[in-house]
Copies of this chain bind each other. A is one copy, B any other.
Amino acid sequence: MRQGVIRRFRGWLPEVPDHAVTTIGEGDTPLIEAPTLSERIGAKLFLKFEGMNPTASFKDRGMTVAMSRAVASGSRACVCASTGNTAASAAAYAARAGIKCFVVVPAGKIALGKAVQVLAHGAEIVQIEGNFDAALRISQQIAGDRGDVTLVNSVNPDRIQGQKTGAFEVCEVLGSPPDALALPVGNAGNITSYWKGFSEWRDAGYSGLAPRMLGFQAEGASPLVAGHDFENPETVASAIRIGAPASKEGALAAARESGGAIESVTDDEILAAQGLLAREEGVFCEPASAAGLAGLLKLAGEGRGPEGTVVSVLTGHGLKDPDVILDRVELPEPVAATFEAVAGRMERLVP
């Protein structure tokens, strides 16, 4: 039974007193075998499905640590600049902790559909007449000014600490680290976290090895591949639509130290991979999550794919972004309400 990542991995995490532990049962997500896709990439592939966290993304692993420590330090509110998964997670964990949550966003840039969790959990959305950088800067200023407000953006180091627990779970289930780990790279906090986790696991003597870290950015938002920030990042994968990653150094170090790489994939490759995951393995993730598989398919196609055991981290649930599916479908015409008509439709597809 899932007790949350703090109780499960306490010795590995920053200190949290019992009374402050704020959990909604995050972590312990399944590592799902992917037999069909394994054949496509020529390695044994597992999917770490982080969409099965309380707010349906991996952000909950870090947020439980950040929010618990905010509570422990006496915070009465938290603040973040985010229009996506971070805000959803912050809103849920703040509600759980009984403190107020403020989400600062550029005016007009928040799609209501993306904000449904923030709104449901009763967080306050503050729209500012400025861009994302201004939202983050003001959030930092407020947390710096008021001792009772905690910043929970990824610059909060407790977030990285919590997210590294995904690596521990992978090692526990497989019995050893995989040969490679593939994941999307946007703000670059998650690749930094996983590498930290695998490194600590190795340094603690549980294994002599650590996986090659393979990070994949969307082509239109690939500052780590291009070597410079993107002023106007563009990709269908909104969760990694970031032009100036906060954890740039951590991501580059992860790739370098592990003998891995950070490369890019196109939006078409991302959407194709998302479709394969849903239609061949039954796992529906948001577009950004599919960047890892898109990258593995690309490497395999070029004869450079990893061998052995490979884990792809699916960072969020497909329900986070329904429009990307709905924008591309059309329902077939209705048929008569008879056995013959429906059986005929079926017969054409399953003779």
Contact = CB atoms under 8 A, between A and B. Distances in A.
Contacts of A138: 337-339, 342
A204 interface: no
A228 interface: no
Given A281-B95, A334-B128, A337-B129, A30 B52 contact: no
Contact of A169 (B1, B24, B32, B97): B1
A60 to B, nearest CB: 10
Nearest to A343: B142
Interface stretch (A105-113, A190-198, A215-223, A230-238): A105-113
A119 interface: yes
Q: State the number of copies, please.
A: 2
Interface residues of A, number: 94
A54 B54 contact: no
A28 B2 contact: yes
A107 B331 CA distance: 10
A317 B343 CA distance: 34
Given A54-B49, A117-B318, A329-B112, A77 B278 contact: no
Contacts of A13: none
A106 B300 CA distance: 44
A155 interface: no
Contacts of A49: 24-25, 54
Contact of A284 (B36, B92, B127, B145): B92
Interface in A1-28: 1-2, 24-25, 28
A342 B128 CA distance: 8
Interface stretch (A259-267, A301-309, A320-328): A320-328
A145 B146 CA distance: 70
A281 B96 contact: yes
A79 B55 CA distance: 31
Contact of A32 (B25, B173, B325, B345): B25
A342 B281 contact: no
A98 interface: yes
Nearest to A319: B319
Contacts of A55: 284
A282 B92 contact: yes
A94 B349 CA distance: 14
Q: Which of A100, A141, A283, A332 has the most CB of B within 10 A?
A: A283
A31 B3 CA distance: 9
Given A52-B53, A284-B55, A129 B336 contact: yes
A299 interface: no
A134 interface: yes
5 contacts: A94-B282, A112-B331, A128-B336, A142-B339, A142-B343
Given A24-B32, A54-B283, A120-B325, 4 more contacts: A24-B49, A25-B52, A98-B280, A116-B325
